[in-house]
Amino acid sequence: MEARFLMRTKYYHKPGTWFKRGLEFLVAAFFLYWISSVERDGPYAWIKYALFAILSVYIFVRPVDELAVNSRTLFYIQKSVISYFTRVEEFDLSQIRSIGCGGLYDTDTEFLGKARPVSNRLEIIFKDNSSRTLDIKIYKGELKWIVKNTLKLLKQTGV
């Protein structure tokens, strides 16, 4: 499956993605521990444990955004640990007239909170004058690289 893409982001396989999720889990676990030490367990104490379990599942199961391009298609992949939650949207390159991106989400802004962005935006304009805008959690540099190379591919194939 890897060989069929000319370009692809690989956030799902990066250790940083799972490290951040592990930190989110530890923060949630610390909060549960703090709540448990401050409050006595009463008849509704099970609610905090149920909420913690749901939050824990969400932290590790929520999809990771990916972009991939082959010679004919642009793929927007939202990949999850559970395949049921994985979604793939395909855009035929022959139907794309223009593609562009914008936003401030990058490695610096993600951790330092410079501008508090939560995602970047990818806009695709099709030949029938319709458009599709995607808010994607992909770093700005990689998104620009994908867009630049996709535009080159569009010009080379004469689509």
pLDDT tens profile 84-139:
999 999 999 999 999 999 887 777 666 655 555 678 899 999 999 999 999 998 98
pLDDT tens profile 23-60:
999 999 999 999 888 877 778 888 889 999 999 999 99
Query: How many domains, the chain?
Result: 2
54 and 73 co-located in one domain: no
77 and 120 co-located in one domain: yes
How far apart CA 21 and CA 157 sit, in angstroms, is 40
Report DSSP state, residue 45: T
How far apart CA 87 and CA 146 sit, in angstroms, is 19
Report DSSP state, residue 64: E
151 and 93 co-located in one domain: yes
How far apart CA 146 and CA 157 sit, in angstroms, is 16
Cβ partners under 8 Å of residue 39, min gap 6: 45
Give me the domain span that covers residue 37. Answer: 16-60
